[in-house]
Amino acid sequence: MSIVPDSITIRRPDDWHVHLRDGAMLEGVAQYTARQFARAIVMPNLSPPVTTTALADAYRERILCAIEPGTHFTPLMTAYLTDATDPDDLADGFARGILTAAKLYPANATTNSAHGVSDIARLAPVLSRMQDIGMVLCIHGEVTDSDVDVFDREAVFIERHLSRILRHFPELKVVFEHITTQDAVQFVESAGPNVAATITPQHLHINRNAMLVGGIRPHAYCLPVAKRETHRLALRKAATSGSSRFFLGTDSAPHSREAKESACGCAGIFNAPYALESYLQVFADEGAFEQFEGFASLHGPAFYGLPVNEGTITLERAELVVPDTIDVGGAQLVPFHAGETLQWSIRR
């Protein structure tokens, strides 16, 4: 049996996938991310979406205004790819350090993705340019075909699209985001070093029963949806394996309580407030403390070609009760693990 330490200190981590929203919601949620993470890859699915370098630059300013003074936090911006994306604009934003990556949402795959890409084949000039300049493509990997079962949409995306993208652009840097299946783990493991994946805390903690057993539980609903237990176990193994191809990306995606508890509830889990504590619990349960720093703080920067952060963060073995709700700009949010007790807390 491995010995469980009383505390763990790691380099300050980054969140390689987060939704910070805009307006009052941004003002309310940004600090939860900024107080744990030095940097975050910020998703561009606002309404209207962040489709250009100019829009990303303006959004970046709004994020920086929402962060409490004295907090050191760098938002890493992404551009939302559409059928009309201009490769020159992407390359310009990347060269000027405004854009870090571009995001591919298949049209209508998830929240605010109506303007996403309707035909991936037509994206070839954009992907070719990104491959040339070494710009990361972040992918929401689910097909949207109505005849494909929602639980199969990630696996079918690999077959129909991801394999093909990498066949045509073998050097393109791809982050397969928020993976939820054993199929995705295997795909990433067998791909080249230019392919990596992020894993959320919820997909390490819950399977689809959490959403559907004993009543329908909207706060466990996100996209891609949690799958069956075999997949959760494969994700835990990958995350704690020490492989540099897997790293932290919370996909924290706040929606008001009313928007979630509805006849047509929004997809998204707000996990930012206790993300690190949640992840560490998984590594503790798997007896993989020594792999936690790699997953949280080292593999992401290495993949993106960025330096690791200065400074450290310490978590200690101390119980923490997650509140049932959190007030944000007049709205109530229900956080991931609401009402549960976690075993680790960030030392303040």
Interface pattern 114-143 for Zn ion (x via CB under 5 A): ------------------------------
Identity of the residue, 158 or 253, whose beta carbon is nearer to ligand DOR in the bound complex: 253
Identity of the residue, 91 or 206, whose beta carbon is nearer to ligand DOR in the bound complex: 206
Positions at the binding site: 17, 19-21, 45, 103, 140, 178, 223, 251, 255, 267
Interface pattern 209-248 for ligand DOR (x via CB under 6 A): -------------xx-------------------------
Q: Is 251 a catalytic residue?
A: yes
DSSP secondary structure of 293-335: HIIIIIHHHHHHT-PPPSSEEEEEEEEEEPPS-EEETTEEE-B
Size of the site for Zn ion (CB under 5 A): 1
Q: CA 188, CA 21: separation in Å to the nearest integer?
A: 29
The letter for the amino acid at 64 is L
List the one residue from 33, 51, 52, 110 that touches ligand DOR (CB under 6 A).
110
Size of the site for ligand DOR (CB under 6 A): 10
Q: CA 328, CA 158: separation in Å to the nearest integer?
A: 37
Minimum distance between the CB of residue 94 and Zn ion, rounded to whole angstroms? Answer: 21
Identity of the residue, 47 or 230, whose beta carbon is nearer to ligand DOR in the bound complex: 47
Identity of the residue, 19 or 129, whose beta carbon is nearer to ligand DOR in the bound complex: 19
Please report, for the chain, how many H helices and E strands are present, in that order: 14, 13
Minimum distance between the CB of residue 311 and ligand DOR, rounded to whole angstroms? Answer: 29
Question: Of 275, 287, 268, nearest to 320 (Cα)?
Answer: 275
Q: Are the C-beta atoms of 100 and 76 separated by less than 8 Å?
A: yes
Query: DSSP 3-state assignment of 68?
Result: coil
**268 touches which of ligand DOR, Zn ion, none (CB within 5 to 8 A by kind)?**
ligand DOR
List the one residue from 111, 240, 278, 345 that touches ligand DOR (CB under 6 A).
111
Candidates 132, 251, 285, 324; catalytic one = 251
Minimum distance between the CB of residue 139 and ligand DOR, rounded to whole angstroms? Answer: 11
Interface pattern 20-59 for ligand DOR (x via CB under 6 A): -------------------------x--------------
Q: Using N-to-C axis directions, what is the helix angle for 275-285 and 229-239, rounded to 10°?
A: 90
Residues comprising the chain, all counted? 348
What residue ranges in the chain does DSSP mark as E strands? 7-11, 15-18, 39-42, 74-80, 99-104, 136-139, 174-176, 195-199, 246-248, 312-321, 326-328, 331-333, 341-346
List the one residue from 14, 142, 154, 251 that touches Zn ion (CB under 5 A).
251
Identity of the residue, 267 or 331, whose beta carbon is nearer to ligand DOR in the bound complex: 267
Q: Between vectors from CA 253 to CA 7 and to CA 30, what angle results, nearest 5°?
A: 65
Secondary structure percentages of the chain, helix, strand, coil, to 5: 40, 20, 40
250 binds ligand DOR (CB under 6 A): no
Segment near Zn ion (CB under 5 A), from 77-85, 113-121, 250-258, 303-311? 250-258
Question: Of 63, 59, 39, 57, nearest to 47 (Cα)?
Answer: 59
Minimum distance between the CB of residue 284 and Zn ion, rounded to whole angstroms? Answer: 26
Interface residue list for Zn ion (CB under 5 A): 251
Residues that bind ligand DOR (CB under 6 A): 19, 45, 110-111, 140, 222-223, 253, 267-268
Q: Which residues are catalytic?
A: 251
